[in-house]
């Protein structure tokens, strides 16, 4: 089990090749169904960091068998974390909330597997996605109440530090943001060989100083696709404050959208798409909707249908996709017509079957 614990820590720190090696060592040592399930959870986290969202979900399905085994139940939060992150990035609100509730129980009952793998940071991020940044800020402050908890947070997920600092700055809490920055800088100085910590500290410096040059350095040092997308979005945001940087803003936003899409995060791509729209580049942005798996539906219709089938209201879909409620309702009427559904409930019931079929002959419904 020690090799799997090491693999998980290495994954958090984005030392993916070393993590894979540790997993190979663990699987070579023993052949036990429960150990294999734990291994699947660690592999799921690796796949998530690589942007292989579907593979991460499949591995979680295998790995969550440990939840019923008292010996290894403390590993179940890893599966809950991967599933919650996947749902959040896809914009699947109902699924995200379900796994978030499980994570809250994990935190409440002390089922964190290790101090450096606590899901507390993810609970804050999910609350922000569900209820808004104003609600998430007090939880972020609680997460960072001591140096020990801040260091634990940075080791759990260095890439999440920029998210926390952004909402703190938005709330005007520069003091707490500076404290996170100092802690990240100290941790980076103590561990110069851990690239993810160094990159996170650089990103925080850039956000607090509003320094585009530092952000560009952070892009170059980004440890994974999603992180590079996040930094490019920050560059676009900062440059957008100047009307003279139109072309550069568009370039960085388009790069961010492409990287978010590559990382399996249509929710984040949609957010940046909205920013690009405000810069009159909606045509360039349109291609970043997730591709429709149903030939009769456009990419936008497919995205709307998937969210509605997942239980979201029109208002929630509008918020996630940065569309008006009227536009969502228009798309939904077209979707009903094309797939032959008469209600939202009927669409939800038939959705998995529709997506699962390789082709769909629904020409009679046009």
pLDDT value at position 136? 94
Q: Which fold has domain 299-365?
A: Arc Repressor Mutant, subunit A (1.10.10)
pLDDT at residue 312 above 90?
no
pLDDT-derived band of residue 96, with 50, 70 and 90 as boundaries? Answer: confident
Tell me the two tokens of residue 36.
């294999």
Query: pTM for this one?
Result: 0.72
CA–CA separation, 90 and 261 (whole Å): 10
pLDDT at residue 287 above 50?
no
Contact 95, 60 (CB under 8 A): no
Question: What does the pLDDT look like over 155-175, one tens digit per residue?
Answer: 888 989 999 999 999 999 999
DSSP annotation of 189 reads H
Tokens 């949609």 belong to residue: 270
359-312-104 Cα angle (round to 5) = 115
Domain ranges of the chain: 224-285, 299-365
pLDDT value at position 289? 53
| Long-range CB contacts (within 8 A, 24+) of 168-175 | 168/137, 168/140, 168/141, 169/207, 169/208, 170/133, 171/133, 171/134, 171/137, 173/137, 173/141, 174/208
Distances (CA, A) of 26 to 22, 32, 62, 191, 319: 6, 11, 17, 26, 44
CA–CA separation, 185 and 150 (whole Å): 12
**Could you give the residue ranges of the DSSP H alpha helices within 13-146?**
16-29, 33-49, 53-63, 76-90, 93-108, 120-131, 133-143
CA–CA separation, 87 and 95 (whole Å): 6
Tokens 């500290």 belong to residue: 201
pLDDT at residue 277 above 70?
yes
Write the DSSP string, 238-276. Answer: HHTTSGGGHHHHHHHHHHHHHHHHHTT-HHHHHHHHHHH
The whole-number average pLDDT for the span 92-115 is 78
Distances (CA, A) of 175 to 160, 181, 269, 315: 18, 10, 31, 35
Tell me the two tokens of residue 256.
């961010």
The dihedral through the CA atoms of 169, 172, 178, 180 has a sign that is negative
pLDDT at residue 358 above 50?
no
């Amino acid at each position: 089990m020690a090799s799997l614990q090491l693999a998980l820590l290495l994954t958090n720190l984005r030392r993916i090749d070393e993590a894979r090696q540790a997993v190979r060592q663990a699987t070579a040592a023993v052949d036990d169904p429960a150990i294999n399930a734990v291994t699947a959870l660690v592999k799921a986290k690796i796949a998530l960091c690589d942007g292989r969202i579907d593979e991460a979900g499949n591995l979680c399905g295998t790995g969550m068998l440990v939840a019923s085994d008292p010996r290894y139940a403390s590993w179940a939060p890893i599966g809950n974390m991967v599933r919650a992150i996947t749902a959040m990035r896809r914009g699947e609100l109902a699924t995200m909330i379900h796994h978030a509730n499980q994570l809250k129980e994990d935190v409440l009952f002390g089922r964190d597997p290790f101090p450096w793998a606590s899901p507390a940071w993810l609970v804050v991020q999910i609350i922000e996605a569900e209820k808004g940044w104003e609600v998430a800020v007090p939880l972020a402050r609680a997460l960072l109440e001591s140096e020990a908890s801040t260091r634990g947070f940075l080791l759990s997920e260095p890439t999440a530090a920029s998210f926390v600092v952004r909402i703190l700055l938005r709330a005007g809490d520069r003091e707490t943001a500076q404290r996170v920055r100092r802690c990240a800088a100290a941790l980076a100085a103590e561990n110069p060989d851990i690239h993810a910590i160094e990159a996170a500290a650089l990103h925080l410096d850039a956000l607090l100083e509003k320094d585009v040059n530092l952000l560009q350095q952070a892009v170059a040092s980004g440890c994974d696709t999603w992180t590079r997308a996040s930094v490019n979005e920050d560059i676009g945001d900062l440059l957008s404050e100047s009307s003279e940087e139109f072309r550069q803003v568009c370039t960085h936003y388009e790069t961010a959208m492409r990287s978010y899409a590559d990382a399996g995060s249509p929710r984040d791509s949609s957010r940046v798409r909205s920013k690009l729209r405000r810069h009159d580049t909606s045509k360039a942005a349109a291609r970043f909707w997730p591709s429709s798996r149903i030939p009769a539906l456009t990419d936008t219709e497919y995205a709307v249908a998937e969210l509605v089938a997942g239980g979201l209201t029109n208002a929630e879909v509008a918020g996630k996709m940065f569309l008006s409620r009227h536009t969502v309702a228009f798309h939904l009427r077209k979707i009903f017509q094309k797939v032959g559904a008469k209600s939202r409930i009927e669409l939800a019931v038939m959705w998995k079957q529709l997506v699962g079929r390789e082709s769909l002959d629904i020409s009679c419904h046009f």
